[in-house]
Amino acid sequence: MSKNAFKLTLYVTGSEWTYNWARVTILLTVEKHSKIFVAGHLGLAGSAIVRELKSQGFHQVLTKTREELDLLHQEKVNAFFRKEKPEYVFVAAARVGGIYANSTYPADFIYENLVIATNLIHAAHENKIKKLLYLGSSCIYPRATAQPMKEEALLSGPLEPTNEAYAIAKIAGLKLCKHFYAQYGDRFISAMPTNLYGPHDSYHPENSHVLPALMRRFHEAKEKRLPEVVVWGSGTPKREFLYSDDLAKALILIMNEYESQEFINVGSGIEVTIKELAETIKKVVGYGGRLIFDPSKPDGMMRKIMDSSKIRALGWRALNSLEEGIAKSYASALEHRAFQSENGKRHSLNSFSLLKK
């Protein structure tokens, strides 16, 4: 019998009736005193999860910086799980980047993301933790899939070549969760968020995602009083964005209420053209120059949005509008001097002491 199977014993007029329910699922509710490990807590998603856990009153949140625990080392990860015995794990640690970083360092992206997922998931299995939530990404979906992208579209066609290495590692991570769930009854589940932004994003000039990259460019243009900012492409492709604090609320809900071997999409439904995105950032940053599009540069996919019916059925909605989220992100980036660091690397923002254990 699997460790998640339950045995129901009935006594009827003196005789004993036993019925084994293989894999009867009951929901585990994370208690306020539960030990929760957030892997990748200094990052965009991880820091939001820690903020939200703390604001909801969870008071045993475990965190480790890369220097304290390099997740690429299986033995160190095992030793950490044996010693600290976390009950719940959020896997928000990963090597992450925009198109340039993904296409320039594919070997690093596939290797590091595979190893981080394997080490954490295997240590969670060996140490019999109660539940693990793994974060994937919308790039797992085939390049030419129908929009909005439904969970069933996974592996139904070729991937986008520019982030194939990253996507393969993310698919392996979600499949690890699925198969440990199927074979051992481990409650390892996965969520696929849409494009994220928020405090503690990376503003690296080359390696960051489109929203923080544009924010940096408008901010620098404002500081240097440049007359115009040129944005690549026609400005017409549509993208979906989710503020990281809204993601964190969704993930805690999923940890409490979602029980399935099948992963779940997390999208805001907030879909804008790149032109609308650039205009919103320009307004929030307060840049007074011109915004110009260069249609000779590639546009990429014309539309990319998640079908998030499953998470909506659980009662979750994104609360922040795009403008509100961008305003909060810009305020945080200014506070942490994110645009002044040499290379835009986030961990130069280590005034984040609140989150350190």
Ligand X SMILES: NC(=O)c1ccc[n+]([C@@H]2O[C@H](COP(=O)([O-])OP(=O)(O)OC[C@H]3O[C@@H](n4cnc5c(N)ncnc54)[C@H](OP(=O)(O)O)[C@@H]3O)[C@@H](O)[C@H]2O)c1
Q: Which residues are catalytic?
A: 166
Binding flag, residue 272, ligand X (CB under 6 A): no
Residue type, 251: L
Binding flag, residue 45, ligand X (CB under 6 A): yes
Residue 7: enclosing H or E segment and its boundaries?
Answer: strand 6-12
Sequential DSSP letters for 111-168: HHHHHHHHHHHHHHHHTT-SEEEEE--GGGS-TT--SSBPGGGTTSSPPPGGGHHHHH
Smallest separation (angstroms) from ligand X to the CB of 138: 6
Residues 96-115 that bind ligand X (CB under 6 A): 96
φ, ψ for residue 122 (rounded to 5)?
Answer: -70, -40
Q: Which of 66, 128, 356, 357 binds ligand X (CB under 6 A)?
A: 66
Closest to ligand X by CB, 117 vs 285, is 117
Binding flag, residue 86, ligand X (CB under 6 A): no
Question: What residues contact residue 179 under an 8 Å CB cut-off, 6+ apart?
Answer: none
The tokens 């307004």 sit on which residue? 283
Asked if residue 102 lies in contact with residue 162, where contact means CB atoms within 8 angstroms, the answer is: yes
Segment interacting with ligand X, rule: CB under 6 A, options 43-51, 275-283, 292-300, 314-322: 43-51
Asked if residue 95 lies in contact with residue 48, where contact means CB atoms within 8 angstroms, the answer is: no
**Closest residue to ligand X, Cβ-based?**
43
Smallest separation (angstroms) from ligand X to the CB of 134: 8
Q: Which two tokens stand for residue 13?
A: 């007029």
Could you give the CA distance from residue 314 to residue 257 in angstroms, rounded to a whole number? 8
Residues 280-309 that bind ligand X (CB under 6 A): none
Segment interacting with ligand X, rule: CB under 6 A, options 6-14, 41-49, 52-60, 213-221: 41-49
Binding flag, residue 239, ligand X (CB under 6 A): no
Q: Which of 40, 148, 235, 267 binds ligand X (CB under 6 A)?
A: 40
Smallest separation (angstroms) from ligand X to the CB of 55: 18
Smallest separation (angstroms) from ligand X to the CB of 202: 6
Binding flag, residue 135, ligand X (CB under 6 A): yes
Binding flag, residue 209, ligand X (CB under 6 A): yes
Closest to ligand X by CB, 184 vs 352, is 352
Q: Backbone dihedral region of 356: left (phi > 0), alpha (psi from -120 to 50 degrees) or beta?
A: beta
Burial annotation 151-185 (CB, 10 A radius, 16+ → b, else e): bebbeeeebbebbbbbbbbbbbbbebbbebbeeeb
Residues 161-200 that bind ligand X (CB under 6 A): 193, 195-196
Closest to ligand X by CB, 212 vs 235, is 212
Sign of CA dihedral 142, 322, 54, 67: positive
Residue numbers at the binding site for ligand X (CB under 6 A): 40, 42-46, 66, 70-72, 92-96, 116, 135, 137, 193, 195-196, 202, 209, 346-347
